[in-house]
Amino acid sequence: MPQNSNEWRIVADEFERKWNFPHCLGAIDGKHIAIHYKKEYGSYFFNYKGFHSVILLAIVDANYKFLYVNVGTNGRANDAAAFNESSFLEGLKKNAFNIPPDSKLPGTNETVPFVFVADDAFKLTSRILKPHGQRSSDYHKIFNYRLSRARRVVENAFGILANRFQIFQRNIDLPLDKIENLTLAACALHNFITTRDGFESIHLDLEDTNTINLIEGSWRNEVALTSLQRSLANHSAVEGRTVREIYTKYFNTTGSVPWQLSAIKKFNF
């Protein structure tokens, strides 16, 4: 993880440059790693998808590299439990990460905190942004599209990881501590390879040719690494709603991009 505010700003600058999302420090998501069932596990690792797993929680930068990884939460736990048990959330609450102070969005006088982007599985706060609920207006759909565009880097990173290390495409038959070590090692090697080969080759492969295919046709539908269950019980904090509204207005005005209206129609936001 970045160790000081300058390093965090480099991450944010990359998100703004590559994905048109300013003040973004990372995309958060979790995936289930399928494990071989052992009798002593009982139902402890049995997840809502119908198989046994441990959860890999990760934060990814604009270049598909892992900034933070937490692995080992039992698959029976929901998304909130995996996140709430992480050292990341604890550090975030204690302001332990030297995140830069709030600053103005480009070209505006609106001051907002630096944020992480996530999907509906995570609780909305002033530091973690997630989509608006189902809305009919383009105004809110544009925010959802812009957030999704930045957030998909973490989905892509999981897909690349499973494609590079195909042990993640099947049930892993190892002791739990070995599964944790294997996953951490794979994430570190993923970062090394990504740094060595560069972002652009991955970007073109995923975004232009869409040639990364895993079992069942595409990594987005793979069995071994599958999306966490969405939580319907999340309640948006007042501060989070305020920050999200500022971003929503920004993406519809000063921070708009030419293709966003056509994109929300094309991708059915």
**136 against 88, higher pLDDT:** 88
Dihedral of the alpha carbons of 236, 242, 248, 250, in degrees to the nearest 10: -160
Question: Would you state the pLDDT for residue 80?
Answer: 65
The pLDDT tens digits for 103-121 are 999 999 999 999 999 998 8
Please report, for residues 98, 129, 235, the alpha-carbon distance to residue 126 in angstroms, rounded to integers and kept in the order given: 16, 7, 13
The pLDDT tens digits for 32-85 are 999 998 888 888 899 988 999 999 999 999 999 999 999 988 888 866 678 888
Which of the 8 DSSP states describes residue 8?
A: H
Distance of CA 207 to the CA centre of its chain: 17
Q: Which domain holds residue 175?
A: 5-266
Among 65, 25, 229, smallest CA distance to 153 is for 65
Judged against a pLDDT cut of 90, whether residue 4 lies above it is answered with yes
Average pLDDT over residues 156-181: 94
Token reading at 17: 């440059």
Judged against a pLDDT cut of 60, whether residue 209 lies above it is answered with no
Question: Would you state the pLDDT for residue 1?
Answer: 92
Number of separate domains in the chain: 1
Q: How many CB atoms lie within 10 A of CB 222?
A: 21
The pLDDT tens digits for 174-207 are 999 999 999 999 999 999 999 998 877 675 444 4
Average pLDDT over residues 154-178: 94
DSSP 89-114: HHHHHTT-S-PPPPEEPTTSS-EE--
CB 56 within 8 A of CB 85: no
